[in-house]
Each structure stands twice: as structure tokens, then as C-alpha cells.
Amino acid sequence: MCEKATATTTRKEIDFKEAKNILHYLCGDDETSTDDIIDRFSQISPKYDKILEAVSYDSPMQTAQTTAELFPGNREHIYILDAAAGTGLCAEKLFSYGFRKMDALEPSSKMLEEAKTKGLYRRYFINGLGENTLGIDDETYDAVTICAMSTVVMKKLPMKAFEELIRIIKPGGYIINTAFYCLFPEDGDDHARLYRANVKTLECHGRLKQVELRRFPQIGFDADGAVSVHKVLK
């Protein structure tokens, strides 16, 4: 599947059906490893933007719009970490709303190479969220955006990943997470129980507070998307 998709996308423009098939391949399933997901995105990175354009992918705009609502003024001074930055699609939309201070965190070096061509970020971190400690100072960012991180990867995120996000965000800042809607509600995807349990634990301990959950339709996928916003309380 991967070889066929890659060869096809290098020869011609991508139509809706082909783009949808590639996206389903990129998403993987609950048995797909994190390393395999990263490798799949790396292989498709030169055509990633065209693939999402073909399905009118709206998550970057939904993320940027929500972030703009949270920060109605002085956006050029708001410092954002774009986690799972990919090729910088979310940063492009954030830039259109006046945000200028952005860093990228992305585990695929190939995706990050594409992002660098757009010149939107100040710093580039080739890293992902997991059990690792991020090489970022405490309370650096006003917000972290997570737009379209692989749901398969997000379902497996350990508590350490959430604690790192809280550590690098200023008190009163936000985590703006855009993903499939089924990730978030208690009666959602059964395989996302770990994600929901970790978030609930942090809420119960007074470290996070959910301030918004907004559902929206996603063309090109068989499931709705949602923007979840948590305020960091420390």
C-alpha cells in the first residue's frame, strides 16, 4: 500500500478518492506502532499538503480559529509550540491570524524539512511526546497546539507526555488539541481510555481544566473532528 501510494502521488495531482485512501493508510489502526506511523508520514511528506488539500482538510483552520478566540489581542507576542507540527499547515493558519512566535515539535525529520521551507517557526525540535523529557524550559509557552497528531499515537500517550506539556506552558495558558471527536467523550473510542484517564486524573488534581470541546465535520474522514481546549492551572 505504501509503495503504491507514494509512487502515485509523485506522478500526478491527487484526487479526493486517492487522498482519502492515503489518509486512511497514514492513520493506521490500534495495532500500528508509533514508529510505523512516523515512518508512514515521513514517506508521504513531500505530498502531504496536496493530500490534505484534496480532501479540504479543515483541522488547521479550526485549531487556529480557536486559538485566535483565546487570544483576541497582542497575538504577535503570544508564544506557541506547535506539537506534531508536521509540514506546518497549522502554523500557516495561525500566521494568518497574526501569531508570529511559534516553535515546531515534530518526530519526523522529513515532515519537519517540509515545514522549514515555509519559514514560520523560530525553533525546530525533532521530537515527539512520550516518556521523554522535552529540551524546553519551564513555562515557556502561552499555548501548545496539537493539530492532527495521529490518533493511534495519542491514544498511547503516557502521563509523562501530559506532564511535560503542563511543565512548558505558563500558568493560565492553554492546550488546544484537535483530533477525532471519538477521542474525547467518556462513551467514545474504547481504545482511547488511557488518554481520557490521564486527562481526568490531571483535572482531578487541579492541574488542568477543560474550557471548550467543539465538534465539527471532517471531509475525507469517516468521523467528525473536535477541538478540545484545556487551561493549565498548575
pLDDT per residue, tens digit, the chain (234 aa), is 333 343 334 445 778 888 888 888 887 888 889 999 999 999 999 999 999 888 888 999 999 999 999 999 999 999 999 999 999 999 999 999 999 999 999 999 999 999 999 999 999 999 999 999 999 999 999 999 999 898 899 999 999 999 999 999 999 999 999 999 999 999 999 999 999 999 999 999 999 999 999 999 986 677 899 999 999 997
Co-location of 145 and 176 in the same domain: yes
Output the pLDDT for position 13. Answer: 72
CA-CA distance, 36 to 23, in Å (whole number)?
14
Output the pLDDT for position 220. Answer: 67
Co-location of 106 and 147 in the same domain: yes
Yes or no: say if 216 and 53 are a contact pair by the CB < 8 Å rule. Answer: no
Q: Which residues form the domain of 217?
A: 59-232
pTM here is 0.90
Which run of H or E residues covers position 179? strand 169-180
Output the pLDDT for position 96. Answer: 98
**AA letter at 204:** C
Q: Where among 54, 78, 98 does a domain terminate? A: 54
Q: Where among 10, 32, 54 does a domain terminate? A: 54
